Structure 1
């Protein structure tokens, strides 16, 4: 069996779905994207007197019937990387922050291209980070309208892993699709072997903005899987109670799934979210408040009951630093996500209400995520039933350290954390320098960055991606410099020659 958590029972899930269906049919959604609205009306969806689009029961049923139960995410080279569905759990860095907590100066500041390149190189080698995300914005000399493509470029040239991304403008998806297509034979191959998941945000109040509508259209038509991520604020624009909030959340998510299936039946869609609770005293929106976490596992249960892949913002922290609060919030929510079988968990590396990214926290979170994944492995007898022989052996030897059973199974049964997690006794810890968590995590960041080896990329592909980005600028301008491998202190021009083999698609 697999360890799991059951947040809501089947009867309550059916009640939540019934209430959500009624809201979709009687109140509907405000669809602000003109092209998406036109597609929905052409598909025969009715409207309310105030113009809101209504979703009748038969439309909902057809959409749910056509939505895939799982899909495979492939890496840059076209090899399968992650199966999104069932109870498979994959951890991915959160997005999209604005600042970096500089591990060299302990300063919180606006992030740069050099910071992002270091992040991508670090995440590329972390064993429990299944794929990357365009985790935070760069604030150096790059136009905002192409900044999303620039971050994707940095991911694609510094890692082979897939990436969770998204467009920040109404027409940003197209150039990002062009860039990813360079790593496939053609557009059909990109659809067959997707290398990215794009985030579509529902803003609450049963509304989809112009940007969200257009981005969904562009993604679905290009074959990019999308995660529908409502920002459900409990106590502010959604009920403070769990069941009521779950209904509101389900309405927003289902609406996105239905729209995607109307545009292209069979489009891969994740039942996701980024809920938070409204703090009645501080007037903040903690994503790691315990009521928000209850909503995470509750809506995930609803998505699973519908047979859909799921996503959540968990395994992160609202704390400002890598401290006790950050560790508790990250591990607690990572374990809940793993127990709930959430397929794509966005969170590692993030602090401060999804505003600040930290590289030391990312390496520590990788360790915590590894422990959570170890915990939810299937439990079954492992050469230990009948147990009588092991009992006789321990009585005879007074230990099982060198027993054949121990020697055979301890490498897989006993999880060995990275050096970031302290498992030494006090004497050995002191002899090794008495480093605290932040020091150990910072040292691990620098060790991994020093050992990083860049994936080989065809210079022609690099040049074409740069051309696509600059073509989207309102005025010609040089792209920001990217630091060479091995240092974050000096930057080489993006057009600097590289010694590498030709990349074969």
Structure 2
């Protein structure tokens, strides 16, 4: 980006960083930094949770399986009880884990945005399906709309520390389920070239979206080779019940090679056990059931381990997405996925606060940092979410982009070498030098590689801050959001392809809004 030269020292540098939409992939931080240093479970505890999950599948089983699911599992060693519960023996689960997909990528529409969710590499992005938009300026809340979803996808495209974009809000201005599913996928794919995700209410709706994706990428084989979409499917209604329509979505994904985020989202104390270990065990079992089924349909299918035990405030029964327990649970689920060597997807950043305030900051920071330090590969809900996923804020994307950068830097940890231990530099400065390191060559060389500089975070002195006209961080975030949304639209979907999509499908996002 070209910029006119500015004077003004620190203030000018601060504006420059904001103009760049936030410090992103650099020598200090990048997508795929490795975590794994935080391990809430011991090795023995992991084994106990794993054994319990296998016993749940073998001894208790799941109800609600479709005839096709029952036939597929039973033909491969499973069984159906008299009361209709589908049992999966441990040896069947272990066999399917051996062939489960590993080493796959989540693709963007442009290769530079591809994600490698292997090992303990971490990436942070959005999700949530909120039904409200939070206006931090007026304190009002309104229903979310399709245009909001598109705008959020565009913000994700511009903000470098948001590595992937899954549906953030529900298009409540659309009532038809088919149009909502199709337009949700379109708005995400049109707004960003980064890896995209979403869900579908039926197999038929997903088939139509697959046809649209084939048009975007250049045909069925091109889609199979580089699918830019990961389908998030809540195929389980906890406790231990299959969701019939979602099983059809899994079957559709298996036919077309579309990656899956296999989600079981119980609520501890309500739809999964109140003890945190029991919640992890149940959700692990439920996700393993999905891995068994999809790998029986398509061995090696790309699927992520989406065990997501959420937290209830047991005084009220309400979800508490910003609790410390939530961060602990997500870190534990990351450990379980690593135990099975399956790429994992977790949820963090789901603050209970309704506005970008102090509570939101510490809840987002704690839950996301615990998830990142544990090595969770895909950390969803990391930007924009409020009210335990009921609300979303556009300007929070800009604020959370800063926070995610700090989380990446903290997770990266230390580089220990002869150079970084700096013995000779210390000798030079203290014995023959000026007694400080400010002008040393090493300091100048390492200031970008070792340090992350947030775009908007205020590091001025109290006196500078008191005398400045731009004291309000939220106001700066709102201005930056408006500037990003007022900037150029991405052209990763050519106009002629967009016109073909609009001619074939009921796209409700007006061309004038693009």
What is the TM-score normalised by the length of structure 2?
Answer: 0.88
1:484 maps onto 2:513 in alignment: yes
Partners of 1:374 and 1:179 in 2: CA distance? 38
Report the equivalent of 1:439: 475
Report the equivalent of 2:485: 449
Report the equivalent of 2:336: 302
Deviation digits for residues 179-212 of structure 1 (CA, Å, limit 9, x no counterpart):
1112333322222222121111122110111121
SS of corresponding position for 2:79? coil
Q: Contact 1:78–1:184 at 8 Å: present in 2 too?
A: no
2:390 to 355, 380, 385: 355
2:290 to 256, 273, 277: 256
Q: How does 1:147-162 map to 2 (within 5 A)?
A: 147-162=180-195
> Aligned-pair distance for 1:483?
4.9
Partners of 1:68 and 1:283 in 2: CA distance? 37
Report the equivalent of 1:139: 172
Deviation digits for residues 126-146 of structure 1 (CA, Å, limit 9, x no counterpart):
111111112111122562322
> Aligned-pair distance for 1:25?
0.8
The farther-off stretch of 276-285 and 88-97 is 276-285
1:229 maps onto 2:263 in alignment: yes
Partners of 2:127 and 2:367 in 1: CA distance? 13
Deviation digits for residues 423-448 of structure 1 (CA, Å, limit 9, x no counterpart):
11123223331432321221221122
2:207 to 174, 182, 192: 174
> Aligned-pair distance for 1:171?
2.5
> Aligned-pair distance for 1:294?
1.8
Report the equivalent of 1:321: 355
Q: Which structure 1 residue ranges, 5 or more long, are not aligned?
A: 471-477, 486-505
Partners of 2:153 and 2:179 in 1: CA distance? 18
> Aligned-pair distance for 1:318?
1.6
Partners of 1:217 and 1:281 in 2: CA distance? 40
Report the equivalent of 1:129: 162
Partners of 2:59 and 2:187 in 1: CA distance? 45
With over 3 angstroms needed to count, the CA separation of the structure-2 counterparts of 1:67 and 1:80, relative to structure 1, is farther
Report the equivalent of 2:273: 239
The farther-off stretch of 34-43 and 314-323 is 34-43
Report the equivalent of 1:277: 311
Partners of 1:172 and 1:34 in 2: CA distance? 21
Deviation digits for residues 8-37 of structure 1 (CA, Å, limit 9, x no counterpart):
011111111111111101111114334333
Q: Contact 1:34–1:210 at 8 Å: present in 2 too?
A: no
The farther-off stretch of 381-390 and 345-354 is 381-390
With over 3 angstroms needed to count, the CA separation of the structure-2 counterparts of 1:443 and 1:30, relative to structure 1, is same
The farther-off stretch of 403-412 and 95-104 is 95-104
> Aligned-pair distance for 1:80?
5.5
1:189 maps onto 2:189 in alignment: no
Q: RMSD of the TM alignment (CA)?
A: 2.0
1:97 maps onto 2:97 in alignment: no
Q: How does 1:369-408 map to 2 (within 5 A)?
A: 369-377=404-412, 379-381=414-416, 383-385=419-421, 387-394=423-430, 396-408=433-445
Aligned residues: 477
SS of corresponding position for 1:448? helix
Report the equivalent of 2:240: 206
With over 3 angstroms needed to count, the CA separation of the structure-2 counterparts of 1:142 and 1:283, relative to structure 1, is closer
The farther-off stretch of 454-463 and 293-302 is 454-463
Q: Contact 1:318–1:351 at 8 Å: present in 2 too?
A: yes
Runs of 4+ in 1 over 4 A off after TM superposition: none
Partners of 2:347 and 2:499 in 1: CA distance? 35
2:448 to 387, 411, 415: 411
The farther-off stretch of 380-389 and 296-305 is 380-389
Report the equivalent of 1:493: none
Report the equivalent of 1:13: 46
Q: Contact 1:90–1:344 at 8 Å: present in 2 too?
A: yes
Partners of 1:424 and 1:84 in 2: CA distance? 37
Partners of 2:241 and 2:51 in 1: CA distance? 20
The farther-off stretch of 224-233 and 421-430 is 421-430
Q: Contact 1:253–1:271 at 8 Å: present in 2 too?
A: yes
Report the equivalent of 1:469: 505
> Aligned-pair distance for 1:46?
1.1
Report the equivalent of 2:322: 288
Partners of 1:131 and 1:299 in 2: CA distance? 20
SS of corresponding position for 1:88? coil
Q: Contact 1:142–1:480 at 8 Å: present in 2 too?
A: no
Partners of 2:500 and 2:128 in 1: CA distance? 26
Deviation digits for residues 334-391 of structure 1 (CA, Å, limit 9, x no counterpart):
1111101101111111111211111111211111111111112252235233514324
Partners of 1:328 and 1:483 in 2: CA distance? 39
Deviation digits for residues 68-95 of structure 1 (CA, Å, limit 9, x no counterpart):
2331122113556110111111111122
